[in-house]
Structure 1
Amino acid sequence: MARKYYTETIPDVVDNLNTAIDTGLSSEEAKKRLTKYGPNSLASKKKKSMFMRFVDQFKDFMIIVLIIAAILSGVVAHEWTDAAIIMIVVILNAVLGVIQEARSEAAIDALKQMATPSAHVRRDNAIVQIPSTELVPGDIVLLEAGDVVPADLRLIRAHSLKIEEAALTGESVPVDKSDETLQGDDIALADRINMAYSSTNVTYGRGEGIVVGTGMNTEVGKIATMLNNADETDTPLKGNLNHLGKILTIMILAICVIVFVVGMFTKQGTEPMNALLIDMFLVAVSLAVAAIPEGLPAIVTIILALGTQTMAKHKAIVRKLPAVETLGATDIICSDKTGTLTQNRMTVEKIFYRGSLHDDNDEIEEDNPALLSMVLANDTKIENGGDLLGDSTETALIQYAFDQNINVHDLLEEHKRVQEVPFDSERKLMSTVNKYGDKFFVAVKGAPDELLKRVTSVKINGEISPITAEQKQDILQTNQDMAKKALRVLGLAYKIVDQTYDDPSTDNVEQDLIFAGLVGMIDPERPEAKAAVAEAHSAGIRTVMITGDHQVTAQAIAERLGILEPGHDERVLTGAQLDQLSDDYFTKHVGDYNVYARVSPEHKVRIVKAWQANDKIVAMTGDGVNDAPSLKQADIGIGMGITGTEVSKGAADMVLADDNFATIVEAVKQGRKVFSNIQKA
């Protein structure tokens, strides 16, 4: 069982891996460990040769029947034209199968390409840059903004470190990292704040970590293992065609035997027995060849190909032909939240100031301290007249100002920043000192509870007065109420000073503040998603939300979309709770749950398998590396074309060009039409 390094103290990790923080490993020791543990790269199962892949395509029952029919047509009935047509259809079918199989293996190749090419490591008491494939457990790795994490690390230093882990965990915002030791054995992957995982991105700050996992022993390596071991599920169409082929073959053979026996009895004595045997055998074989529907595979392929063209017009790009029909048979859609059901864009929804809560479309004055604080204490870069670059939370605040018709450029020019105290993950605040006429405006934003510790005043009816304990409690209650609605809440405060600071720090800049307000943000649901969920429900398709986000966020969005009825939190299951359920129990009760929160890649595969064990056809959507195993396991995997990683697209059967849940529902409609056409054929 893998060690849970996030629960171990830094000295314990150092002792366990026999390393030194200040000097790192020696080059000699690193070579020994590289021999022992192998390179820090992902392995894949041995690939079949192109010839063996081609041969495998002929193991389908219907194909075997067609090959026998072709042989009999030529050798016995001397219908060489029919035999040639049948074999051409069979060979074309095999070529298509080989192409599809090669595409599916692209998922593992894309996963390998995600590895960073180099890493900054402390070795022999010096900082050196080495290929990431040469990293070994015990190496001390240095991280800074812009780096891709090269291996799984237990952090030993974290200075305002933020790591974007969406592809691995589904968490929609960068995670604040820390070097503190965590308590508990069942901490979700997304909550392990003292760990940095391979192939995630450092977005802010810097840090150091000890390598605790390389290659296939990393979290990404576990995903690669699941991809390699994922069950290849037959599509409903393939299963139905196989079943049809067996029934037809049995019926045809039975009729041929009856015709042969009846012919032998009725024509007995009309010609020599040897000649009669040969004649009746040829009649029976001719009947069998005529009855076998050799055109069926060709017809099915043509109908599916036409279906893919129709779906492409509706922004659903099909990568594997049978997926078209599978969509039509879908019973369950397991959908990721971020980007598919939601817009994947943090947006201001509520603002609390002057003692009352306001909607995002309520008018706000340009000189309102809450607005000034959210715009001035902000590191967003504004390019090309309106493109916003920066942290998703901060860009949401600037976009809100733009939406309020505030001239942000003029505001920033008028109140130029002269000093700042950058964000720090420990105090959870950020402050700037800006020009304000002949004085200076100190703008502060951050975690409401931390900010209130530094607030001493509040402005009521234009008068600044000391803030009371009761007023602070009301603010904290408002903060809680907003958080329960899945809003990400920031506190806003300010003060006006006569001069700048000699040495700006939290001890002087962030003291004696005046409370300005609270701002609540959310990644809102797509406008068309709610109608699409309802339409899917009316068509007998159940929508299940699976996300790496927190339970409160997942539940609130699910209620807004109609996936979950308000107040039914018993239908929400977290990854930690899922771990407590046995496979048998979960398989029997999987229908009790509509929403899964804080889940890992293993959980997603388990959810898909549980539905499949109940004979349900499952469609799974996803955009991250963490979604790839479940995309491959599902009857139809649906990748995201805009936000999706190459890994998830490679594992998917279909890709959405617009990342829109409503497109899935439209594609299901088209899939049902295709299924109907195949039935008619």
Structure 2
Amino acid sequence: MIKNYFNQIIPDVEKSLHTSLTQGLNDDQVKKRREKYGNNAIASKKKTSMFMRFVDQFKDFMIIVLIIAALLSGVVAHEWTDAAIIMIVVILNAVLGVFQETRSEEAIDALKKMSTPNAHVRRNGTVLEIPSTEVVPGDIVLLEAGDVVPADLRLTVAKSLKIEESALTGESVPVDKSNETLQDKKVALADQINMAFSSTNVTYGRGEGIVIGTGMHTEVGKIATMLNNTDETDTPLKQNLNQLGKILTIMILAICAIVFVVGLITKRGTEPTDKLVIDMFLVAVSLAVAAIPEGLPAIVTIILALGTQTMATHKAIVRKLPAVETLGATDIICSDKTGTLTQNKMTVEKIYYRGRTHGTDHEVHADNPAILSMILANDTKIENGGNLLGDPTETSLIQYAFDQNIDVQNLLRNHPRIQEVPFDSERKLMSTINKYGDKYYVAVKGAPDQLLKRVTSVSINGQVSPITDEQKQDILAANQNMAKKALRVLGLAYKIVDKTYNDPTTDNVEQDLIFAGLVGMIDPERPEAKEAIKEAHSAGIRTVMITGDFQVTAQAIAERLGILKLGQDKRVITGAQLDELSDDYFKKHV
């Protein structure tokens, strides 16, 4: 398959994958491609059997020494009680290790057990719904809001399409997608706006795309390949125990050898030579068995097992017992941002109206045009119980209204939507026409710069007057101040009309608007993350944040969390800058 589909025109992609945008693949093509590429699924590392896991527990050097000691105790010294005790300790140690690993694997498997989503594909000219595992390269996939993208796609149609890619790129805001061909030969994953990637979520609009990669050939699959190919290294504790075991063994064997030789020399002639050799050998073996700390592996295992239980109470899964110890030897913590340090949930933080910027603790009433516009020009679905479904930006607006104790559902019932002009990535606006008594309320939200071009009036204290250049400058300054704090800013406007539109378009609906306000949102930091970073710094641990989000947003979050101090701009490195660093500079500075 050809790489860099993002810079190829759609007909070339269609031709290279031997498919048809209008007809899709036929049954024969699907069969051959399934045989060639297999299921559209992520392959995981082959699981180790329970027996092999049990055997692996005996590969530790100290355990091997203990087994040899047990054999010598029983066979040579006839100390079968000592031999039995040593073997019980060894077996209990192995059972504990296997038990912990199995529990961890079961917990991880439970996280993976998500229902396989279905995909809508065009085959033989007909749209079918099939399990996503049956999707093959060349399939034409249809996307709409709420879908999980089943494979990597080169988009051929994008109608107001937005896809949430935070799990893959770290971008906390859904990405506006397009079917345009990108000209650059090298484009970062997060900037490939004409591509849709497996396991990401469609939050708005609809689209179509040609499958260019499935299973392990997707971007998610590449990550899985890297994870499956990672080398397993021993923890510092395990290395130290192995080293201790070797040193003790050498010292014990040396001392036993000395005792054996000295005994032979000093007791020579007191008894027959063959009996003396056997007696001194038994003494040496008894000494070796007594000197070997057979309780050490069991004690270490029990302590680590207790550690994993403590971690489990804090909702942290530890896969391997010795991994607990590495937490105490940590020098640097590298963390993802979206969903780890932040809540992965857009939240309103500032609202600007009537010439002032307010925080979320400021009370806003339901009759405020800014509130009315953000609720009415909104496609969020409110489920029973108050669950919000839709674009994270839009759901944050409804949540803000909830937090202001506004009866959103009653407001929507009183002002039902009659018409709309859907969001478009080119004009960056969305408008709805809602019933408003015996008139109609036009609610508009979108990019502040685009909105201001269509604004002619401003509402202050319920009075509508023509907007002045000074007021426009104040609005732009408020927008800039929010943007500097890494807030995503939306403009809000409205107008009241006497009748609906015969043909609602941007040319007639989104003109002569009344400015209502601005609203600033961000994916806020987790409160516990800030405290954890502070604690890590007090312990001398460096914290590093890694994210695919915008540089300004990432820097603002890092400053709010305490990872960066104000003025440390040079410590923010983009992916492009990172690629240009030499290996020596990287090791020294990063």
TM-score, normalization by structure 1: 0.80
1:94 and 2:80 equivalent?
no
The equivalent of 1:616 in structure 2 is none
SS for the counterpart of 2:3 is coil
**553-562 or 186-195: which moved more?**
186-195
1:576 and 2:576 equivalent?
yes
Structure 1, unpaired ranges of 5+: 591-681
1:371·1:401 contact (CA, 8 Å) conserved in 2? yes
Q: Percent identity?
A: 81
Q: Cα offset for 1:111?
A: 9.3
d(CA) in 2 for partners of 1:34 and 1:365? Answer: 58
SS for the counterpart of 1:339 is coil
Aligned pair in 2 of structure 1 residues 108, 296: CA closer, same or farther (>3 Å)?
A: closer
d(CA) in 1 for partners of 2:421 and 2:457? Answer: 21
The equivalent of 2:546 in structure 1 is 546
1:303 and 2:303 equivalent?
yes
Aligned pair in 2 of structure 1 residues 407, 133: CA closer, same or farther (>3 Å)?
A: closer
Q: Cα offset for 1:504?
A: 2.3
Structure 2, unpaired ranges of 5+: none
Amino acid at match of 1:142: L
Aligned pair in 2 of structure 1 residues 248, 30: CA closer, same or farther (>3 Å)?
A: same
d(CA) in 1 for partners of 2:65 and 2:210? Answer: 59
1:451 and 2:451 equivalent?
yes
Aligned pair in 2 of structure 1 residues 244, 341: CA closer, same or farther (>3 Å)?
A: same
Aligned pair in 2 of structure 1 residues 452, 583: CA closer, same or farther (>3 Å)?
A: same
Alignment of 1:257-406 (within 5 A): 257-316=257-316, 318-384=318-384, 386-406=386-406
Aligned pair in 2 of structure 1 residues 58, 308: CA closer, same or farther (>3 Å)?
A: closer
SS for the counterpart of 1:338 is coil
d(CA) in 2 for partners of 1:386 and 1:209? Answer: 34
**435-444 or 402-411: which moved more?**
402-411
Deviations 1:104-131 (A, max 9, x none): 7679977986684643322333333444
Aligned pair in 2 of structure 1 residues 379, 138: CA closer, same or farther (>3 Å)?
A: closer
The equivalent of 1:85 in structure 2 is 85
Alignment of 1:144-159 (within 5 A): 144-159=144-159
1:157·1:178 contact (CA, 8 Å) conserved in 2? yes
d(CA) in 1 for partners of 2:214 and 2:342? Answer: 34
The equivalent of 1:494 in structure 2 is 494
**36-45 or 269-278: which moved more?**
36-45
The equivalent of 1:431 in structure 2 is 431
Q: How many residues align?
A: 590
d(CA) in 2 for partners of 1:256 and 1:65? Answer: 15
d(CA) in 2 for partners of 1:408 and 1:525? Answer: 27
Q: Cα offset for 1:589?
A: 2.4
Amino acid at match of 1:238: K
SS for the counterpart of 2:588 is helix
**574-583 or 309-318: which moved more?**
309-318
Deviations 1:279-308 (A, max 9, x none): 222111111110111111111222223333
d(CA) in 1 for partners of 2:583 and 2:100? Answer: 32
Deviations 1:479-528 (A, max 9, x none): 23311211011111111112222232322211111111110011222334
1:27·1:124 contact (CA, 8 Å) conserved in 2? yes
1:54 and 2:49 equivalent?
no
1:123 and 2:117 equivalent?
no
2:100·2:305 contact (CA, 8 Å) conserved in 1? no
Aligned pair in 2 of structure 1 residues 341, 134: CA closer, same or farther (>3 Å)?
A: closer
1:187·1:576 contact (CA, 8 Å) conserved in 2? no
1:33 and 2:33 equivalent?
yes
1:42·1:216 contact (CA, 8 Å) conserved in 2? yes
The equivalent of 1:24 in structure 2 is 24
Q: Cα offset for 1:94?
A: 3.0
The equivalent of 2:519 in structure 1 is 519
d(CA) in 2 for partners of 1:512 and 1:180? Answer: 32
Deviations 1:563-616 (A, max 9, x none): 1011212111223322333444423322xxxxxxxxxxxxxxxxxxxxxxxxxx
d(CA) in 2 for partners of 1:86 and 1:147? Answer: 58
CA RMSD after TM alignment: 2.8
1:429·1:444 contact (CA, 8 Å) conserved in 2? yes
Amino acid at match of 1:41: A
d(CA) in 2 for partners of 1:441 and 1:132? Answer: 42
d(CA) in 2 for partners of 1:475 and 1:9? Answer: 41
Q: Cα offset for 1:360?
A: 1.9
Aligned pair in 2 of structure 1 residues 500, 455: CA closer, same or farther (>3 Å)?
A: same
Amino acid at match of 2:31: K
1:108·1:224 contact (CA, 8 Å) conserved in 2? no
Aligned pair in 2 of structure 1 residues 330, 290: CA closer, same or farther (>3 Å)?
A: same
d(CA) in 2 for partners of 1:111 and 1:359? Answer: 37
Aligned pair in 2 of structure 1 residues 311, 28: CA closer, same or farther (>3 Å)?
A: closer
Amino acid at match of 1:489: V
